[in-house]
Structure 1
Amino acid sequence: MSNQDDDRGGYGRPPKRTRFQPGQSGNPKGRPRTPAAELTSNTDADRMFLEEALRPVTIVENNKRRKVPAMRAVYRRTVQSALQGDPRAITAFSKNLGSALNNPELRRVVMDAPEFPSDPNLAAQIYRDFIAGKIR
């Protein structure tokens, strides 16, 4: 094939003079890059998320209404669902427990927790004292 035929182009072959040069972008004025600072700086979104996670919601526990942070209510529901056998809740519970046990202070608290007595009233009192720091 002659050089003239190659320069002419054809179907699916643009002429050589109009092709992109090696190393040249196909869309030089395309979408501008987002600065790295904008990608990691979601302080407004993070702040809004934390405000919602800490927003008090009302739950019913032992026929009594209590206000707790939304985050605590979600964790409670996850634990309840896991105890009822929901596989997704069990997975979420396991992941959260694993990451919590990576913290040496929390691991010590779990390992030092007193045994659970068979009397529920006594167990509740022991755990209340333990959490309050009265039992070491």
Structure 2
Amino acid sequence: MRSTQSPTYNVGYGKPPKTTQFRKGQSGNPRGRKRSEENLVMVFKRLASRLVKVSINGVTKTMPMAQAVILQNMKAALNQDQIAMGNIFRLMEATGEFLDWTNPELVGKPIFMPEKMSMEEMIAFEGIEVVHRPSSHRTSDP
């Protein structure tokens, strides 16, 4: 059996024979990745983003289905529908509408400082404890 390899090319780990290597410009995966099946979240997002026409006070408007459902729930809640009221309250709670934004324990401390602070003042404000560790690369003083 005669070899078509050049004598300088060594075949081994990570070096397949030239005859079995991909040709230049040819993909190693010509059919591509398989598409995943649509799961429940993907179906919900696709349907919720579908545009629908809604009549508001005699004017037809186009909006995503999710927005139209919320709008219908709000109208029903205003007409004393208890289920719709519960839906609106659950939605408001999920989006954080009931949080007390003035309570620092719930919303955290401010991100910016309105005035300049020294390092000591900032440490005291944040309640940070500074620990100084001796470095191993420092030389000791004689």
Asked whether the two chains share a fold, i.e. TM above 0.5, the reply is: no
Instruction: Using structure 1 for the length normalisation, give the TM-score.
Output: 0.42
Greater Cα radius of gyration, structure 1 or 2: 2
Instruction: Using structure 2 for the length normalisation, give the TM-score.
Output: 0.41
Which structure has the highest helix share of the two?
1
